[in-house]
Structure 1
């Protein structure tokens, strides 16, 4: 089965769905009876496009516990919050791992997005047109392209949009964690540290997210691991990825096998030290001292 926007390629991603969900994630489909599993929620980095063994698979081997890959390309907070099946899977897990999403793929006063493909702009609002009356935005169908054009035209006006998106990100991340109800471990997998940049859409992934925003998350965030994947050359960016010739440009833009291995290793270390793998299903992580 092909997944929307990915097309066919050398890898079989065994794309699957769960329950009533219309979100297609990487398979194989897992049986979730008993709740003895780790849920891993994320976008294309968790899905592992061009990667034979994405980090949820590696984590499963390291922990000896089922890890359910809920990575769906082109999705973000809005798609996850609207999907009751995904939320229930996470709520039933012993712990949920969330790959930190960008703040750009959120509905707001300036534009609306596709309900499942959160990278697609469905409509630009009259409010945006009033803020940017001197810019023709009719051909901006993808949110990151739209934001790049807005920032290039006027950083001062773009600051209005950035402030709203960053505020919404904090609110909806807290909402997501509250809906899950259990313990959450965050994965920062991007091209930069959360301490560097984050003010412009082209600063690097995850777009428009900063350290201050991570600190503003409440309650159930038990740990955050950070892996920076910044390849110096095109050859390094493509190393050990599996892709067709026409997919090379897209393959450059996603984390590689080494980054996935580092994420899995760090996650396994955190979960192994805090999760009672021998206890009954459903125990919570121990609180970490500040």
Structure 2
């Protein structure tokens, strides 16, 4: 699938690339010669089906360009070794990192695709030993694999989930260290951090990330902004999204424009204070 066709023909994402990065981003391509804010994240940050994602709305409020470095199906692994992204983030006036799910990163149990982090590549010997009666060649996506494992082996699944959580904290620390700039962490979801936990919520995003895990990053991140979507924003659903008829189900599973507006509102005071402080 070409990046230009992500999300169908209903919305032109004007995909672009930046020097030094292996990734493709939502355009239009921005100048890196003027001050900007770098916004890193996954599908929600990219803004699939969203005409104006939260980075655009935050730019309006701050009056400063917000470079959308969101990656479709991206997790921490898409960014932590991408020299282009790290360079752009290091030069930014401020950096926002969306909280991304813990299952979209390689760990001691399995390996994901280095850019499309939702793609399952292979199980390790430790994974095969933990789930001895599972044929991992059946799985191509981590979500599908985790749903199956959670349903069939809830006790063993929790061992895997604990590994994912430990790997997430370590990878977040590594990403922030490599950026070398103050980072604002953004929780953007349909629930508060500790409302959906355990294998019963394996389909929830960001999967397996808890308040305790984010607290472990205190002193590493400069701020944490919690945007748990309001009932009113969630009730508006996919209103304002642009997608082809066959993509209606996929659109219903994503956060809509009303939630993106709430995320921009939540980020604004923190980013404004950070920019004033760093002048």
SS in structure 2 opposite 1:138?
helix
CA distance in 2, matches of 1:197, 1:257: 22
Q: Are positions 1:242 and 2:242 aligned together?
A: yes
Where does residue 55 of structure 1 map in the other structure? Answer: 54
Whether the 8 Å CA contact 1:96–1:184 is kept in 2: the answer is yes
Query: Whole-Å Cα distance in 1 between the matches of residues 233 and 218 of structure 2?
Result: 38
Residue number in structure 2 paired with 1:147: 146
Indicate conservation of the 8 Å contact 1:231/1:237, yes or no: no
Is the 1:2–1:8 contact (alpha carbons within 8 Å) kept by the matching residues of 2? no
Aligned residues of 1:182 and 1:220 also touching (Cα < 8 A): no
Aligned residues: 278
Specify which structure has the higher proportion of helix.
Answer: 2
TM-score of the superposition, structure 1-length normalised?
A: 0.89
Distance 1:238 1:184, change over 3 A: same
In structure 1, the residue matched to 2:208 is 208
Q: Is the 8 A contact 1:113 1:122 kept in 2?
A: yes
User: Is 1:65 aligned to 2:64, yes or no?
Assistant: yes
- Change over 3 Å in CA distance of 1:106–1:66 after alignment to 2: same
Separation in 2, partners of 1:248, 1:235: 16
Partner of 1:259: 259
The answer to whether structure 1 residue 76 and structure 2 residue 70 are counterparts is no
Distance in 2 (CA, whole Å) between partners of 1:235 and 1:181 is: 39
**Equivalent residue number for residue 280 of structure 1:** none
Provide the C-alpha distance between the structure 1 equivalents of 2:153 and 2:232, rounded to a whole number of angstroms: 30
Q: What residue is the counterpart of 1:178 in the other structure?
A: 177
Question: The residue matched to 1:65 in structure 2 has which SS?
Answer: coil
**In the alignment, is the contact (CA less than 8 A) between 2:238 and 2:257 conserved in 1?**
no
Normalised TM-score (structure 2): 0.93
Question: Given the alignment of the two structures, is residue 101 of structure 1 paired with residue 107 of structure 2, yes or no?
Answer: no
Q: Cα RMSD between the aligned structures? A: 2.2
How far residue 57 of structure 1 moved from its aligned partner, in angstroms, is 0.6
